Chains A and B, each alone.
Chain A
Amino acid sequence: MTKLVTEAELNNDAKILEDGGAIRSPWKMAWRKLKRHRLAMIGMWILIILHLFSIFADFFTPYGEVNTDRRRINHPPTKVHIVSPEGKLVRPFIYRYDRVDAMRNRYEPDKSTMYPIRLFVRGDKYKILGFETNVRLLGVDSPARLYLFGGDRYGRDIFSRIAYGGRRSLFIGLIGLVVSMSIGMIYGGIAGFFGGWIDNIMMRVAEVIMSIPSIYLLLALGAVLPASLPSDKRFMLITFILAFISWAGLARVIRGMVLSLAKTEFVAGAEAIGCSQPRIILRHILPNTLSYVIVNATLAIPGFILGEAGLSLLSLGIQHPLASWGNMLSEAMNLSGLSNYPWLLVPGFFIFVTVLSYSFFGDGIRDALDPRAQT
């Protein structure tokens, strides 16, 4: 009998638990504030779209990454028409461009035939989730070619290569971030928590790493890497190089935060109830540095993207024929190319938009996680 009563009470309690009002966890509150930050939300959506575009580059683009056309060097962007010569509104179509001046790569559209832009066409083969397929979102019939953002000096489609290049340029930031954040947090956490001579030695090491001029280090490392290195390995190596020179600054800040958090009463309380040291660091100290780390992360990603762009510009980064926004931009390095084929700058625009979006997003997150900015 008594047991029944307690069970009923428990159920009742559970009910109270459920409708005890909205639980406002710190994360939920931050998310609500972030949603009100318009620029941050725009930045976030741009980033989501860019990343999806890159991940599913095979599907969203008309051509494969290394699909070249020697007869269409530095092809200008194709105009997409929706009004037919008869003045009727039709589905989007393009004209085929013919080279009229082979010396200077001048092209004129041939207005005799309309090539409608088709959806879900068969194009270059690719693999997705283990399945081989050749269905692509966009495409036009041969012999026309779709150059939404123009073509480069091998006749490759810049639009397609931006999507493929994003796989390296965008994700180098994320991977590099994970590496440098983990090193920085663990390193700074240990130095700050244990203090004393451990802290002293660890921080001196971090300072030595910070004092190495990064551009020379990168040049040296880039020169050491053999040219025959497979491109995916090269990509990972570059990511790690960038990560290894950027963790020290974060480690120093984390160490400072841990040092001050270790003196708080809730850490003393955790010790008083018998928490082990790893538990205190992992459950009580590091979670409280997270808001800083997240802000720092969103603001550090552009550094990696720009770092890769800089390396590739010096042809130390991702190597041709693989695309990255940096090495695509390096084609626009000379003035004649730039004035004749200004569309080579499109990758730069993507870098610009990405970096700006991350900055807005990071700004919004910083405001959202700042407990003093309660609204």
Chain B
Amino acid sequence: MTDGTINTQETLVEVRDLVKHFPIRQGIIFSKQVGAVQAVDGVTFDIFKGETLGLVGESGCGKTTTGRLILRLLEATSGEIYFDGKNIPALPKDDLRELRKDMQIIFQDPYGSLNPRMTVGDIVGEPLHIHKIARGAEKEKRVRELLEVVGLSAFHARRFPHEFSGGQRQRIGIARALAVDPRLIVCDEPVSALDVSIQAQVINLLEDLQDEFGLTYLFIAHDLSVVKHISDRVAVMYLGKIVELTDKDELYRNPKHPYTQALLSAIPEADPTLKKERILLKGDVPSPINPPTGCRFHTRCPKVMDICKVEEPKFIDSGDGHFVACHLIPGCSSIDEDEE
């Protein structure tokens, strides 16, 4: 999958110019909009059938919002998301419910993502009930199967979430997502809240399930080493935009965007004798309410040029499916085009 044949693969999800602005209002009765949090501001990418697309970035860069927009847990401000040819933001409610069978989500917080008042059996069985996949004894049987698939025991069905550890709860969440037999699962930082030893177990489980059921993952994380392990391709987000998107090996070997380079230099190395040059970024992520002009990274970029402050770089394919948005790359600036 990583040998450059990506472009010939079938796409499952096409995201085009996706925008999500959360309005900021003032006033109690006659409220007016005074601004917007530009959580996602024009992202474009594809997810291919059967692949794992990693989506990384700092906290607050819009990766979770992107995931939720794809599932339409949030309404997009503008842009298109095609799942199997159907435009999700424009889909009528009835069709959307039908489509929910094909897309599922695994959440970050193993404590907040399971209803504390429902038994594990009810939680895992609810999607079966809602989509009329199985009822009664058949449903119970299916729930037990699902629990065993994710490495729990059948008798856990009658227990409550608070009786489980974080890793076990995450398995329950995975079982719930699997219940409808989905094609796409958005994994929203599924291991960030877990111990490192448990992280490995859950990631291995996700990989096994992918092989077994032919799943496609959008894997959201802020940990590059986790993403490196599980992903086929990786997209890097910064302040509501994708700055670089390419094949995993290519990204780790040849990062083109200065932000990606800085991120990669921050991965801790197990070998203490290995001296690595760390690129330290100055300052904090700017506010998404009032993002910088031009390239959003210019305020912190070590290689900043004059053009970066004025013009937004285009997100283009710099060759072999290596997408990047940086003025250092030929073709990203409109001036380059003018010269050509």
- Contact surface of A with B, Cβ cutoff 8 Å: 10, 13, 16-17, 20, 23-26, 200, 204, 264-266, 268-275, 279, 283-284, 287-288, 290, 371
Q: B333: CB under 8 A from chain A?
A: no
Closest to B186 in A: A272
Name the A residues within 8 Å of B319 (CB-CB): none
Residues of A within 8 A of B270 (CB): none
Nearest-neighbor residue (CB-CB) of B137 within chain A:
A10
Stretch of B102-110, B201-209, B274-282, B290-298 that contacts chain A? B102-110
Please, how many residues of chain B have a CB less than 8 angstroms from a CB on the other chain? 42
Chain B interface (Cβ < 8 Å from any Cβ of A): 28-29, 68, 71, 73, 97, 100-101, 103-105, 107-109, 112-119, 126-127, 130-131, 141, 144, 153-160, 162-163, 173, 176, 179-180
For B100, give its contact among A17, A25, A273, A283 (CB under 8 Å). A273
A290 to B158, CA, bound (A): 21
Contacting residues, chain B, for A264 (C-beta < 8 A): 112-113
Taking A265-B108, A268-B68 as given, write out 16 further A-B residue pairs in contact, using a Cβ cutoff of 8 Å, ordered by the A residue number.
A13-B144, A17-B154, A20-B158, A23-B160, A26-B162, A268-B73, A268-B113, A269-B107, A269-B114, A270-B115, A270-B126, A272-B104, A273-B176, A273-B179, A274-B131, A287-B115
A10–B108 CB distance below 8 A: no
| B104 contacts across to A, CB distance below 8 A | 272-273
A and B contact pairs by CB, cutoff 8 A, 16 listed = A13-B154, A16-B155, A25-B119, A264-B112, A264-B113, A265-B108, A265-B109, A266-B115, A268-B107, A268-B113, A271-B73, A272-B103, A273-B126, A273-B130, A274-B100, A279-B130
Residues of B within 8 A of A24 (CB): 159-160, 163
Chain B residues within an 8 Å CB radius of A270: 115, 126
- Chain A residues near B156: list those with CB within 8 A: 20
Tell me which of B114, B127, B158, B163 contacts A17 (CB under 8 A): B158
Contacts of A279 in B (CB 8 A): 130
Could you say which residues of chain A place their CB within 8 Å of the CB of B29?
A: 200, 204
Nearest CB in chain B: distance from A2 CB, A: 15
Whether B115 and A273, one on each chain, are in contact in the complex, defined by CB atoms closer than 8 angstroms, is: no
Complex contacts, A17 vs chain B, CB 8 Å: 154-155, 157-158
- By the criterion CB–CB under 8 Å, are A20 and B113 in contact? no
Q: Is the CB of A272 within 8 A of B105?
A: yes
Q: Which 4 A-B pairs have the closest CB atoms?
A: A20-B155, A274-B100, A265-B113, A273-B127
CB–CB B105/A268 < 8 A: yes
Q: How distant is the Cα of A16 from the Cα of B155 in the complex, in angstroms?
A: 6
Nearest CB on B from A258, distance (A): 14
- B residues within 8 A CB of A272? 71, 73, 100, 103-105
A288–B114 CA distance with the chains assembled, in angstroms:
12
Closest chain-B Cβ to A172's Cβ sits at a distance in Å of 31
Closest residue of A by beta carbon distance from B127 = A273
Q: How long is the Cα–Cα vector from A264 to B104 in the complex, in angstroms?
A: 16
Given contacts A17-B158, A24-B163, A266-B113, contact A273 B144 (CB under 8 A): no
Q: How far is the CA of A26 from the CA of B68 in the complex (A)?
A: 31
Chain A residues positioned under 8 Å from B100 (CB to CB): 272-274
A288 to B161 Cα, complex, angstroms: 14
Q: How far is the CB of B133 from chain A (nearest CB, A)?
A: 11
Distance from B120 Cβ to chain A, minimum over Cβ atoms (Å): 11
Q: Given contacts A24-B163, A273-B130, are A287 and B105 in contact (CB under 8 A)?
A: no
Complex CA gap A272/B116 in Å reads 18
Residues of A within 8 Å of B105, CB to CB, are: 268-269, 272
B-side contacts of A269, CB under 8 Å: 105, 107, 113-114, 173, 176
On whether the beta carbons of B173 and A274 are closer than 8 Å, the reply is no
By the criterion CB–CB under 8 Å, are A288 and B115 in contact?
yes
Residues in chain A near residue B115, CB distance under 8 A: 266, 270, 283-284, 287-288
Q: Known A271-B73, A272-B73; judge A266-B112 contact (CB<8 A).
A: yes
Contact B153 A265 (CB under 8 A): no
Minimum distance in angstroms from B157 CB to a CB of chain A: 7
Q: Is the CB of B127 within 8 A of A265?
A: no
A23 touches B159 (CB 8 A): yes
Contacts of A284 in B (CB 8 A): 115
B108: which A residues are within 8 A, CB to CB?
A: 265
In the complex, which residues of chain A have a beta carbon less than 8 angstroms from the beta carbon of B101? 274
- Closest residue of chain B to A272 (Cβ to Cβ) is B105
B126 A265 Cβ-Cβ under 8 A: no
- A16, B153: Cβ atoms closer than 8 Å: yes
